[in-house]
């Protein structure tokens, strides 16, 4: 879907909800609809879109005007004094000008403080919370988006291959994470997709471990969760390595997670619910008696955000539709010992999934530093 079609789809949704217009403040949604991606400052709004039945307006201030003009040619630029404050001042006139009375805002993004400010400035209009409208359109990727995602995935794969050569006992988690970050940036990443996770031994038992100064040791698992951002799109890849000759426990747990992942990769189809996909992997782990140790969902969509629709969790009723991306990432976490997680990115197709990730799943690492 090109940008124009995305805006048309949003208009169809506005119509359905009886809205005269919508204010888009979430930066990734703004980027998706207009091409204008203001820098993401969580506590500041640097530009906003206002979309009605037959108008597409981009509000921003002098700092971004030139960028906005270049990036969002299909939008009518509306210069405000200073984004945020200036928008509050400009909005009443703007709404009156286009005759919008019932106006939607993005409830998941607009803070309560900002809502109060804006709502009081717009007393004459009805201010309606909306949830996940643009996110729903974003969930299904077009060809260009998939191509950007492929590049981000390939870079994560390459970085992982490099880490397999680099990693050895004695290096701290932070040293390995930094090496991965540098490799990605030199390989063309705009950014890393999230704080990279290198979790050795017991630290791997925390699904969202942060990296620490702990040095990796021989004879323990290491969870490596990395991702890059390329052309605004992300990748998300996890592999688990064992430094040295794997012991029986690691072999058992690793083989189980691998089987659970295979079951999901082979079984997921377009039209399935998120919870059904999750169940394909969960069942394998539960039957082996490790159900309690798989504490998170199977996966999530990845695109302009690292975590986006759809969700494949125990209870997710969301339908997995062709063209959506999904991570398939079962894991087992054992306090005091460590964790095993294997995560691939896929695209949902009618008859199955297309696996994008290609990084090696061979867990044993006998690098020179170990032998």
Residues in contact with Zn ion by CB under 5 A are 225, 236, 238, 327, 343
Tally Cβ neighbours within 10 Å of residue 204: 26
Which C-beta is closer to Zn ion: that of 61 or that of 236? 236
**Closer of 140 and 192 to Zn ion (Cβ):** 192
Judged by CB, which is closer to Zn ion: 26, or 238?
Answer: 238
Q: Give the DSSP H or E segment for 101.
A: none
Q: How far is CA 347 from the centre of its chain?
A: 14
What is the distance between the alpha carbons of residues 284 and 262, in angstroms, rounded to a whole number? Answer: 10
Q: Is the preceding omega at residue 162 within 30 degrees of 0, hence cis? A: no
Query: Are 129 and 107 in contact, with CB atoms under 8 Å apart?
Result: yes
Which C-beta is closer to Zn ion: that of 100 or that of 148? 148
Distance CA 57, CA 74 (A): 9
Minimum CB–partner distance for residue 251 and Zn ion (Å) = 23
Give the pairing of strands 47-52 and 344-349.
unpaired
Minimum Å gap between C-beta 154 and Zn ion is: 16
Q: How far is the CB of 220 from Zn ion (least distance, A)?
A: 20
Q: d(Cα 236, Cα 225) in Å, to the nearest integer?
A: 7
Minimum CB distance to Zn ion smaller for 68 or for 324: 324
Q: CA–CA distance from 86 to each of 42, 79, 225, 299 (Å)?
A: 18, 9, 41, 40
HEC letters along 43-65: CCCCEEEEEECCEEEEEECCCCH
Q: How far apart are CA 217 and CA 199, in angstroms?
A: 11
**DSSP letter string over 118-146?**
HHHHTTTSEEEEE-SHHHHHHHB--HHHH
Nearest distance in Å: CB 12, Zn ion: 31
Q: Which is nearer to Zn ion, 284 or 346 (CB)?
A: 346
State in angstroms the smallest separation of the CB of 85 from Zn ion.
37
What is the smallest separation between the CB atom of 238 and Zn ion, expressed in angstroms?
5
**Residue with Cβ nearer Zn ion (238 or 316):** 238
| Minimum CB–partner distance for residue 306 and Zn ion (Å) | 7
């Amino acid at each position: 879907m090109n940008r124009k079609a995305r805006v048309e789809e949003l208009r169809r949704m506005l119509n359905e909800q009886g809205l005269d217009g919508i204010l888009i403040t979430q930066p990734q949604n703004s980027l998706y609809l207009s091409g204008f991606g203001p820098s993401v400052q969580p506590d500041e709004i640097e530009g906003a879109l206002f979309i009605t039945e037959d108008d597409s307006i981009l509000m921003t201030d002098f700092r971004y005007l030139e960028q906005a003009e270049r990036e969002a040619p299909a939008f009518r630029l509306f210069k405000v004094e200073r984004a945020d404050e200036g928008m509050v001042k400009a909005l009443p006139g703007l709404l009156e000008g286009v005759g919008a009375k019932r106006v939607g805002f993005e409830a998941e993004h607009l803070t309560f403080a900002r809502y109060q400010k804006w709502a009081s400035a717009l007393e004459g209009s009805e201010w309606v919370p909306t949830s996940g409208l643009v996110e729903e359109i974003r969930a299904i990727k077009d060809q260009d988006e998939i191509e950007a995602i492929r590049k981000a995935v390939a870079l994560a794969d390459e970085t992982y291959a490099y880490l397999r050569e680099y990693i050895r006992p004695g290096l701290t988690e932070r040293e390995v994470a930094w090496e991965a970050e540098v490799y990605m940036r030199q390989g063309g990443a705009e950014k890393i997709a999230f704080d990279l996770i290198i979790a050795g031994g017991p630290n791997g038992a925390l699904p969202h471990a942060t990296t620490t100064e702990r040095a990796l040791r021989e004879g323990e698992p290491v969870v490596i969760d990395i991702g890059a951002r390329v052309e605004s799109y992300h990748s998300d890849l996890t592999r688990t390595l064992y430094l040295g000759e794997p012991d029986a426990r690691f072999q058992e747990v690793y083989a189980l997670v691998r089987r659970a992942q295979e079951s999901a990769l082979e079984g997921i189809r377009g039209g399935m619910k998120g919870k059904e996909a999750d169940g394909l992997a969960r069942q394998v782990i539960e039957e082996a008696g490790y159900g309690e140790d798989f504490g998170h969902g199977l996966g999530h969509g990845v695109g302009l955000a690292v975590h986006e629709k759809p969700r494949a969790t125990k209870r997710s009723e969301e339908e997995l539709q062709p063209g959506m991306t999904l991570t398939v990432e079962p894991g087992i976490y054992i306090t005091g010992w460590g964790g095993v997680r294997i995560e691939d990115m896929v695209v949902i197709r009618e008859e199955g999934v297309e696996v994008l990730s290609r990084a090696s799943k061979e867990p044993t690492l006998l690098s020179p530093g170990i032998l």
